[in-house]
Amino acid sequence: MIREHIHPLMPWTLALTAAVAGLALASGRLVAADDAWSTPPATPKGNVVIKTVMAVDEEEQPQAAGKAAAEALRKAMGGVPLKAVIVSECFEDKQAKLKLLEGIASVLPTEILLGGATYGSFTQAGCSDLDSVSLLGIGGEGVSVAAALVTDLGTSKLVFEEHQPEIERRLHAAGAKLAGKLRTTKLDRLLILIPDAHSPKNQFIVEGVQQVVGGQFPITGGCVNKNAGQTFVYFRGRPYEDSAVALMLSGDLKVSLAGRQAKENDQVISTAREAAAEAATKLKTRPIAALAFDCAGRKGRLKNVADELAAVQQAIGQELPLFGCYCAGEIGPLDTTEKKPGVLSGGGGWHVMFTLIGQ
Amino acid sequence: MRIVAAGALLIGAGWVGAAAPDQPSVGTRYPATSPHSEPVALRVESFTVPPSSQPLVFVVAKNLQNVPYQGTLTIKAPEGWRLAPLERQFALKPGETRRVPFTIERGSSVQCNSYPVEVSATGAGATVVRRQDVVCASAPYFNPTIDGDPSEWKDAIPVTFTSGGRKTIISTYWNRRQFSILVAVEEQELIRYRAGPTPEPFDAVQIALSPPDTQTGNSPDDQATRFEFLFVAAGTAGTARAPTRSVGRPWSAGRCFQLASPGMKLAEAAKERRLEPLQCEKATVAVSRTATVTYYECGIPFSLMGGQIRPSEGREFCLSVLVHDPDGTGIRDWGQAAGLWPWQRNPLAWSRFPGAKWGENPPFDNKLPWGLCSSIY
């Protein structure tokens, strides 16, 4: 049985949605190369629609799970064409992952699918781990997106202790290259980074990106699952190893970021609540969506995994679309003594990196 | 002020005669305190994810006095590491044991997987110092073929200890369906198990897996909290039940016996029982041998553990290992090598079986922390 978790307040939409989205893309509105693409500039004061869905595959039918999730997202968008879809999936092997992508792509345009393998996801509807997929859909004329891929990082099989200088050099270069591929606009607001760079390697790719976008630019994201045979990032609906993807959100948006670190049950719960509350306090406008890139290690410390989600809900309520995933390293405001002054985001472990997007 | 360097004393031969005050054995009552005179006993637990992942490190402190203890705990880590806080105040009631966490803010993993640490507690007019070589006891995610070939284990995190001059290396992996373990036993000769009414001594590996936060009971009437398995070499090359491919080295089918499950009475588990009825068909075992090393490679489905140990990244559980080398070193005990206190020997912690050759003293308790991690990379 495929269980779909859809936020109860999400509007259901017309079956025409996918066709509309597909037409928009097919008619040349997407400016694309193999390793980068972008949508037309955002319309000032245009609406922005961000929705999340999650599907749990209880029948070992990843393709059906992907299709179900994609259909649910299409409906949740309420007729608004999708500009980008971030995939967080936790399936066992490459074959299952490819089937999942096929299922998603049977409903949604392949070109706008990006994301990565994670250790599970959470939305307002609950938490999941194995055999689950969560989708974050972004649409509306008020938002524009630009996405890029960088491959052959050359670091996925390097051990930090033995190869730190090489890892640093390669990931600095890769981060800068990735950010350099993104179309830039004056309305750029948030960069979501999804690399194959297990903590503590992730700090270096963030620093590379910051060489281009600056230290104060809001960056969040999470590193993909490092389990053997499961390490993939996705770009244009295809899997890549030893790679990184980035998605820039632009428009009349406001974002607020907060990060907290914890390694024990009670602290994991309380820090999740604190991070969400801090982001909510700092936003100063109406939130339209929340992102939570969370550490799989934190999840492992929870006696009851749902407790962390409940803590987040205490801070942001149960209605705001929430896209959460469990990662192998998190990107956002570090909660450590090594935090660099004047730099907003970094890469670390054991964090929940919480972002609110408002309009 | 006294300075008591407790390091090797606590894990060496000096313990003999002491035993577990918290865990009396069948028919034996142990003294209420350690034979040592220091006010607290200290030890450092294994890391359950690689140190480069910046885990917590737990110092376990036990008040050995009959009065409350108040003190300051500090920990010295390998060079280049940074721990926080630098020190912790702590208080213990008489006889109380507590785990005190420190955060590794900067650490690095090394291939030999051995990290020298020094922990000290100052209080009650004395400074107690303990030095230990701590390991990372953690299983990365991988699905090995159980065929006795150790070459697939290069991405595991080897835990090495030496007993009687012979090395034992424990490596572990996990995936959603199975917990896998490779125990490399340096020994002169492999003595295979042969079923029979009175088996001769044989080589074997005995392991206990327990859910986190469980303890071994104090009374023979208490219930076991462990899943306990015994792996042996049996048969001859080519007669494997499960191994799937030959790797050009001598190997044989192994056998697995399930000795205990949670809920069993400890007295029942501690009683010597015939192995044949305890055969565990669902586990896979292959045993191979080089000139001086025997490899026990074993896969245990998580389904055998009824959901009590969750196969998920970052989860912790308890694992300990006994190696039976009756014609060599005798019993090799991970609990001893991991630095358990002398009084943590506990005859209720392990099952007995015909053909085993036990030492003069019971083995140590089986509740040693172990973790499920993602990758060494």
The answer as to whether B15 is a domain residue is: no
Query: Does the pLDDT of residue A63 top 70, yes or no?
Result: yes
B375 and A336: CB-CB below 8 Å?
Answer: no
Smallest Cβ distance to B52: which of A129, A161, A297? A161
Q: Which of chain B's residues have a Cβ under 8 Å away from the Cβ of A129?
A: 312
Q: Are residues B101 and B175 in the same domain?
A: no
B313 and A227: CB-CB below 8 Å?
Answer: yes
The answer as to whether B188 is a domain residue is: yes
Nearest residue on chain A to B83, alpha-carbon basis: A337
Q: Are residues B258 and B281 in the same domain?
A: yes
Domain boundary among B105, B134, B163: B134
Which CATH number belongs to the domain containing residue B327 in this structure? 2.60.40.1190
Model confidence at B236, pLDDT cuts 50, 70, 90, reads low
Q: Report pLDDT digits (tens) over A118-128.
A: 999 999 999 99
Question: Read out DSSP for B222-286?
Answer: SBP--EEEEEEE-S-TT--SS-----SS-EEEEEEEEEE-TTSBHHHHHS---SGGGB-TTSEEE
The average pLDDT across A265-274 equals 98
Only one residue has tokens 């005859």, namely: B347
The answer as to whether B13 is a domain residue is: no
pLDDT at residue B36 in the model: 54
B105 and A229: CB-CB below 8 Å?
Answer: no
DSSP β-ladder status, A346-348 and A132-139: unpaired
The answer as to whether B108 is a domain residue is: yes
Model confidence at A133, pLDDT cuts 50, 70, 90, reads very high
The answer as to whether B2 is a domain residue is: no
Q: Are residues B149 and B124 in the same domain?
A: no
Model confidence at A337, pLDDT cuts 50, 70, 90, reads confident
Smallest Cβ distance to A161: which of B110, B315, B375? B110
Q: Is A299 strand, coil or helix? A: helix
Lowest mean pLDDT among A296-305, B190-199, B259-268, B325-334: B190-199
What is the Cβ-side half-sphere exposure of residue B177, based on CA atoms within 13 angstroms?
A: 8
Q: Which of B164, B180, B211 is nearest to B305 (CA)?
A: B211
Mean pLDDT of chain B: 87
Q: Which of chain B's residues have a Cβ under 8 Å away from the Cβ of A326?
A: 313
Q: Which of chain B's residues have a Cβ under 8 Å away from the Cβ of A267?
A: none
Domain boundary among B116, B134, B152: B134
Q: Which of chain B's residues have a Cβ under 8 Å away from the Cβ of A198?
A: 374-375, 377
Q: Are residues B117 and B197 in the same domain?
A: no
Smallest Cβ distance to B375: which of A198, A200, A300? A198
Q: Which of chain A's residues have a Cβ under 8 Å away from the Cβ of B376?
A: 159
Q: Report pLDDT digits (tens) over B136-187.
A: 999 999 999 999 999 999 999 999 999 999 999 999 999 999 999 999 999 9
Q: Are residues B241 and B284 in the same domain?
A: yes
Cβ-contact A304, A268 below 8 angstroms = no
How far is B81 from A119, CA to CA, in rounded Å?
Answer: 28
Q: Are residues B280 and B354 in the same domain?
A: yes
| Neighbouring C-beta atoms of residue A204, cutoff 10 Å | 24
The answer as to whether B172 is a domain residue is: yes
Query: Does the pLDDT of residue B1 top 90, yes or no?
Result: no
Q: Two tokens at A29?
A: 């509105």
Which has more pLDDT, A324 or A2? A324
Residue A345: C-alpha distances to residues A229, A256, B192, B367 (Å): 29, 12, 58, 40
The average pLDDT across B335-357 equals 96
pLDDT at residue A161 in the model: 84
Q: Are residues B129 and B143 in the same domain?
A: no
Domain boundary among B119, B134, B149: B134
Smallest Cβ distance to A159: which of B105, B140, B377? B377
Which CATH number belongs to the domain containing residue B56 in this structure? 2.60.40.10
pLDDT at residue B321 in the model: 98
B101 and A119: CB-CB below 8 Å?
Answer: no
Query: Does the pLDDT of residue A291 top 90, yes or no?
Result: yes
Q: Report pLDDT digits (tens) over B72-89.
A: 999 999 999 999 999 999
Q: Which of chain B's residues have a Cβ under 8 Å away from the Cβ of A199?
A: 53-54
Nearest residue on chain A to B108, alpha-carbon basis: A161
pLDDT at residue A5 in the model: 57
Range of the domain at B229: 138-372
Q: Report pLDDT digits (tens) over A143-184.
A: 999 999 999 999 998 988 889 999 999 999 999 999 999 999
Q: Are residues B152 and B266 in the same domain?
A: yes
The average pLDDT across A4-9 equals 46
Q: Report pLDDT digits (tens) over A86-120.
A: 999 999 999 999 999 999 999 999 999 999 999 99
Q: Are residues B191 and B329 in the same domain?
A: yes
Query: Does the pLDDT of residue B51 top 90, yes or no?
Result: yes
Task: Provide residues of B within 8 Å CB-CB of chain A.
Answer: 49, 52-56, 84, 101, 103, 105-106, 108-111, 140-143, 155, 175-176, 312-316, 372, 374-377
B314 and A296: CB-CB below 8 Å?
Answer: yes
Backbone angles phi, psi at A261, to 5 degrees: -115, 140
CA distance B54 to chain A (A): 8
Cβ-contact B224, B185 below 8 angstroms = no
pLDDT at residue A3 in the model: 64
pLDDT at residue A324 in the model: 98
The answer as to whether B9 is a domain residue is: no
Model confidence at A9, pLDDT cuts 50, 70, 90, reads very low
Query: Does the pLDDT of residue B245 top 90, yes or no?
Result: no
Q: Which of chain A's residues have a Cβ under 8 Å away from the Cβ of B316?
A: 300
Query: Does the pLDDT of residue B27 top 50, yes or no?
Result: no
CA distance A173 to chain B (A): 20
Smallest Cβ distance to A161: which of B108, B140, B315? B108
Model confidence at A4, pLDDT cuts 50, 70, 90, reads low
pLDDT at residue A29 in the model: 62
B101 and A263: CB-CB below 8 Å?
Answer: yes
Q: Is B185 strand, coil or helix? A: strand
Query: Does the pLDDT of residue A225 top 60, yes or no?
Result: yes
pLDDT at residue B197 in the model: 79
Query: Does the pLDDT of residue A282 top 90, yes or no?
Result: yes
CA distance B40 to chain A (A): 25
Which has more pLDDT, A186 or B29? A186
Model confidence at A22, pLDDT cuts 50, 70, 90, reads very low
Model confidence at A292, pLDDT cuts 50, 70, 90, reads very high
pLDDT at residue A33 in the model: 79
Q: Are residues B73 and B217 in the same domain?
A: no
Q: Are residues B216 and B97 in the same domain?
A: no
B377 and A92: CB-CB below 8 Å?
Answer: no
Query: Does the pLDDT of residue B241 top 60, yes or no?
Result: no
pLDDT at residue B22 in the model: 40
The answer as to whether B12 is a domain residue is: no
Query: Does the pLDDT of residue A246 top 70, yes or no?
Result: yes
CA distance B43 to chain A (A): 20
CB pairs under 8 A between A and B: 83
Lowest mean pLDDT among A23-32, B118-127, B314-323: A23-32
Cβ-contact B113, B160 below 8 angstroms = yes
Q: Are residues B124 and B145 in the same domain?
A: no
Domains in chain B, number? 2
pLDDT at residue B377 in the model: 87
Smallest Cβ distance to B376: which of A159, A225, A326? A159
Model confidence at B250, pLDDT cuts 50, 70, 90, reads low
pLDDT at residue A2 in the model: 61
Q: Which of B262, B278, B270 is nearest to B350 (CA)?
A: B270
Q: Report pLDDT digits (tens) over B255-302.
A: 999 999 999 999 999 999 999 999 999 999 999 999 899 999 999 999
B313 and A161: CB-CB below 8 Å?
Answer: no
How far is B21 from B28, CA to CA, in rounded Å?
Answer: 10
